[in-house]
A and B are shown apart, each in its own frame.
Chain A
Amino acid sequence: MTEHKASIISWFRFDRKGLGFFAYSMHRFSGVVIVFYLYLHYAVLSNLLRGQATFDAVVRAAAYGPYGIFIVMDVLLTVVIFYHGANGVRLMLNEMGLGLAHHKALFFVLEAGAMALMLLFLYYAWQAVLSGSGL
């Protein structure tokens, strides 16, 4: 009987659910986003085989995109990566039986730490962009 079977949309209905469910939903979502980007990244890097001029042209085009929208996407990707990493550390600790009683506090502490690191990263990466060395 599969009458009651839920669709995968139910993984992302986190209204009236706990913090752990939100963390789980977002972990899943961010993971899929990163896998998508990973293969996109491999595809862009494949252009290395087509020589310097082509590769540099592709990278320059991909860095900003139309109306600089790819820069925005890059920042969003950074959020997703740092979120996934911090929650991943929490999951590993919890799944090994550490800090189970404080998993919500652990979530906030690790995410806050990751977001602080991310802002630091974005600041320095932006400096590199402005100085022209980072495209």
Chain B
Amino acid sequence: MSGNEYEFTIKRKDDHGKVSYSDYSVPKDRISTVFEGLLYIKENLDQTLSMRYSCTMEICGSCAVEVNGKPKMACSTIASSLKTDKIRVEPIRHFDVIKDLVVDLDSFFDKYRKGLPYIIREDYGDYSSELLQTPEQFQKYEQYSMCIKCGLCMAACPIVGTDEDYLGPASLTAVLRYNLDSRDEGGKYRLEAIGTEEGTSRCHYAGECSEVCPKGVDPSSAIQKLRWQVFKHEISGLIRGRRK
């Protein structure tokens, strides 16, 4: 804590798939966040460092990395809050690494789409009237709509790591977000799409997704609420006979 520099250790992967670690010293008075440290390295020390970023203010969800073993947004992680001068930055887990800190998020967005994360209306195409919503109706799903698709929850979830088919916290939270939306009428399609062994059944409430979520979305409790929705859907299917 006493020195004037942070010791960055960054996990690298080059074009040929060779993995190595690079060390850099970054002066403390030049950076405040881990992201700025990475940018300082790229500007002044090593231009070959690859990373992904856009907004630098925890809105775009691009700069998810693992800082000292914990998945975090690089842009909102204050370096001095880490209580150590040694900062180890690695790509987030559970994704294939393309280069250095850049991971392939295709699997994440593929799973995200499985939950039909958009408003479904029975009167599709009828734009004659606006869909109004009261503040109370909005607040029902507001928290879950804060998701920035950064993928930190997927990197933290122990089941996503071992079962790559598991839809994961972000995808299931999106299902709940649209199911709670008063304008939406497609809940049954979503519950149908995720009512599999790869859906809520694989969640065992380790709660690590909520620990790492930068936006306070609390995906783990969202999944428990969704589980109850799926349960009611399946029971009503049992009563009505074979589900459509």
Contact = CB atoms under 8 A, between A and B. Distances in A.
Q: Do chains A and B touch in the complex (CB under 8 A)?
A: yes
Interface of A: 1-8, 10-11, 15-21, 23-25, 27-28, 91, 94-97, 100-101, 103
Interface of B: 68-70, 93-97, 107, 158, 161-162, 164, 204-208, 210-211, 220-221, 224-225, 227-228
Given A20-B211, A21-B207, A97 B161 contact: no
B178 to A, nearest CB: 18
Interface of A is mostly: helix
A10 B205 CA distance: 16
B213 to A, nearest CB: 11
A27 B95 CA distance: 27
Contacts, number: 78
B208 A21 contact: yes
A97 B95 CA distance: 30
8 contacts: A1-B96, A3-B96, A4-B161, A6-B93, A11-B158, A16-B68, A20-B208, A24-B206
A33 to B, nearest CB: 17
A10 B207 contact: no
A7 B163 CA distance: 10
Pairs of residues from A and B, 6 with the lowest C-beta to C-beta distance, nearest first: A20-B207, A6-B161, A24-B206, A18-B211, A100-B221, A21-B206
B205 A20 contact: yes
Which one of A10, A19, A95 has the highest number of Cβ atoms from chain B below 10 Å of its Cβ? Answer: A95
Which one of B93, B107, B205, B220 has the highest number of Cβ atoms from chain A below 10 Å of its Cβ? Answer: B205
B161 to A, nearest CB: 3
Given A5-B162, A11-B162, A20-B211, A94 B94 contact: no
B86 to A, nearest CB: 14
A49 B154 CA distance: 52
Nearest to A28: B204
Given A4-B93, A17-B211, A10 B161 contact: yes
A20 to B, nearest CB: 3
B158 A24 contact: yes
B194 to A, nearest CB: 16
